[in-house]
Structure 1
């Protein structure tokens, strides 16, 4: 029966059925085949309601809302200007400034595609204007935007915490250094690329002089409120003043205050549109989360986690080999399944065996999220590719091919994160 459930799920994926519906069809399949099965429709509905009847899930739409307001409010441009005035003059400095902007903006949006859209809209035209290859510029933003789900606050961390009863605050803390490490390796590639292909120093110097004419203090002052955003959100969580859910609420009020009264880039009449957009964005994700909870409960009744543990115990007897196999499986799954739903499906099944192998649940969550985030730029369904490619009037596959070296450097960071648990756990 378990095999039929997964066959149903992956067949639906192949036929481009929405991920929520894939889980829904697979969830009700056992009771359709065997009406006496204990996981009947009533059980499924109860599991769905229980899956979203937790206060921490409110953090997801709230972070989406604050991210949408800040994106329209132009915070990404102010962040980029701050980093560009400090490192933009160095070899490869402008692409590196893009990576750092994605890193910081990820601490605002919690979403890969949102980071790609907000940073890409502003940075890609500027990089092209400065003489950088347009496909490279698009690929860089698409890859670096994956940091949006690794650096806290991260929506996939919240999803992982919901289905595994792992502290979301611990996951947020553990995600800081891995996110920074991945950003460093992406910047290493950017510098090497620029040294090999050259840069138009005249245009870069002119852009730097334009920024410098505003004064370093002036640029920092203009970007101060944007830079303060992750400090308020994450500082409130780590100091114990607010929970992650309360921090999400604070981020909404902060976004409204900054964009409405400080930068004045958003008007009061625009707010209902943001609320509507946040609800529309969250609706499919919310449905995925509640159906994922029901799907996991059905798999538990079918004893799928125990079966997987038994299989892995017989096939893998070494933690390090298990981690290699896990990363390979996650890499290919990331090509077809978004990081959030993948976390909610895989985490409850993998956690018991991972813990028996001595892997910390928080470390497992970081490995899952960092690996699956590569899926944002891997064909055929890399979401960030489809966000970034239209910005240069190109197709997703062209940008995806240019992103392959970036994925390679990303993989170096992933190996370090996988096999050096202290990178994730040392701040806990």
Structure 2
């Protein structure tokens, strides 16, 4: 049954059937031909997969991200980042990474970060003497940190698939995301020093203050979300509602860049995006259920436990597999399908499920800018206009840096577990 399921699923995807249809249809046909279970159980399990309280936060975070984007947040955050670090070696490139980390904390979307930040800063990077290879690689990579920094939709999906705490994952993602971002910042600084790239004039205290005041309301969003969850003031789902309401009010009445018509459009766009994510979760939940019926998690867990007897070797194997999976599958789908399969083996080896989630998400984040099918590579075409062959030299250096950081976060669990432990 499982062999039939995977062959059929692959065939449906190859001929261009929508992913959610392929997931549910292959499950229904496997039940029809190989079991006495009604195929309608696949539909019931699909609905059951999205009937979870934690998923209430997902459409609200999407609404918040769209409201912040429509409210002109990206330009203000970029101006603030340039005033903060623009005078350092590689200042503009460092501002690009810093702005991406902040915008990622607002949007939770890697492709959105690439477009929003790249559209403004890529031309400026070229004008300041950065090579097209370096600038494009930086822009494409910079969006990946959005998968780690809260409010990350990917972390919410991992929590849903493994029944772990969203709040703890957000805390862990914040620590790992800062380490990931700072590792890239260090590389950018050293590269700029070696290349003797020009730096901007240091912003005066007044200019920095003006940029901070302009971006102040935007900078408060992650503080409200993380601070509220960490202090116990509200749950992650409540934090999503607060963030959505706050974002709309700031966009309409403080920055005044969202009209009533604009509010309607961003709500409609958020509803469509939420539906797209939810239907994928439903399809993947149906597939995960039939894999459980086929004893795949138990078989895989036994195989991994027998062949990888220590956490070190297990995590090394998992990293290699997920780096390949991330090249071909969207992070959301990969997490929902793979996480429940590897969790039992990880728990048997004493790996904390929070740490496992961060390692998995970071692998898939790297996959978003890994050739040949990394999503950010295709999204960046509208920003850079470069072909994959032209992008490859710049991407490889950032992939190498990211792999070094991945090893650090994988084998130093305290990076991920320090903040959750404080709670």
User: What is the TM-score when the length of structure 1 is the normalising length?
Assistant: 0.93
Match of 2:194 in 1: 196
Measured after TM superposition, the shift of residue 17 of structure 1 is 4.0
Measured after TM superposition, the shift of residue 294 of structure 1 is 1.1
Question: Please, which runs of 5 or more residues in structure 2 have no aligned partner?
Answer: none
Asked if the contact 1:8/1:25 (under 8 Å) is kept, the reply is no
Measured after TM superposition, the shift of residue 26 of structure 1 is 3.1
C-alpha separation in 2, matches of 1:406 and 1:248? 32
Secondary structure at the counterpart of residue 58 of structure 1: helix
Measured after TM superposition, the shift of residue 230 of structure 1 is 0.6
Match of 1:412 in 2: 404
- Deviation string 1:179-209 (CA, Å, 9 cap, x unpaired) is 01111111122123223333244xx34xx5x
Measured after TM superposition, the shift of residue 278 of structure 1 is 1.1
Asked if the contact 2:366/2:399 (under 8 Å) is kept, the reply is yes
C-alpha separation in 2, matches of 1:354 and 1:335? 23
Secondary structure at the counterpart of residue 359 of structure 1: coil
Which runs of structure 2 are paired with 1:362-381 in the superposition (5 Å)? Answer: 362-381=354-373
1:56 corresponds, among 54, 57, 68, to 54
Q: 2:417 matched to 1:425?
A: yes
Match of 1:175 in 2: 173
- Deviation string 1:228-276 (CA, Å, 9 cap, x unpaired) is 1111121111111111111111111111111111111222221111011
Match of 1:9 in 2: 9
Q: 2:387 matched to 1:389?
A: no
C-alpha separation in 1, matches of 2:306 and 2:61? 42
Measured after TM superposition, the shift of residue 397 of structure 1 is 4.5
Secondary structure at the counterpart of residue 369 of structure 1: helix
CA RMSD of aligned residues (A): 1.8
1:232 corresponds, among 224, 228, 234, to 224
Q: 2:95 matched to 1:103?
A: no
C-alpha spacing 1:69/1:134, structure 2 compared with 1 (3 Å): farther
C-alpha spacing 1:178/1:16, structure 2 compared with 1 (3 Å): farther
Q: 2:312 matched to 1:314?
A: no
C-alpha spacing 1:131/1:214, structure 2 compared with 1 (3 Å): farther
Asked if the contact 1:379/1:397 (under 8 Å) is kept, the reply is no
Asked if the contact 1:139/1:388 (under 8 Å) is kept, the reply is no
User: What is the TM-score when the length of structure 2 is the normalising length?
Assistant: 0.94
C-alpha separation in 1, matches of 2:89 and 2:348? 47
2:125 corresponds, among 118, 124, 127, to 127
C-alpha spacing 1:402/1:11, structure 2 compared with 1 (3 Å): farther
Measured after TM superposition, the shift of residue 95 of structure 1 is 0.6
Secondary structure at the counterpart of residue 28 of structure 1: helix
Q: 2:152 matched to 1:154?
A: yes
Secondary structure at the counterpart of residue 368 of structure 2: helix
Measured after TM superposition, the shift of residue 158 of structure 1 is 0.8
Measured after TM superposition, the shift of residue 21 of structure 1 is 3.0
C-alpha separation in 2, matches of 1:388 and 1:189? 21
Secondary structure at the counterpart of residue 386 of structure 2: coil
Measured after TM superposition, the shift of residue 86 of structure 1 is 2.2
Asked if the contact 1:12/1:22 (under 8 Å) is kept, the reply is yes
Q: 2:233 matched to 1:241?
A: yes
Q: 2:141 matched to 1:143?
A: yes
- Deviation string 1:23-54 (CA, Å, 9 cap, x unpaired) is 223322322322x343x322111111111112
Question: Please, which runs of 5 or more residues in structure 1 have no aligned partner?
Answer: none
Which runs of structure 2 are paired with 1:14-53 in the superposition (5 Å)? Answer: 14-34=14-34, 36-38=35-37, 40-53=38-51
Measured after TM superposition, the shift of residue 224 of structure 1 is 0.9
339-348 vs 373-382, which deviates more?
373-382
Match of 2:332 in 1: 340
Match of 1:117 in 2: 115
Q: 2:361 matched to 1:361?
A: no
C-alpha separation in 2, matches of 1:99 and 1:16? 35
C-alpha spacing 1:112/1:304, structure 2 compared with 1 (3 Å): same
- Deviation string 1:317-352 (CA, Å, 9 cap, x unpaired) is 222111111000000000011111111101111101
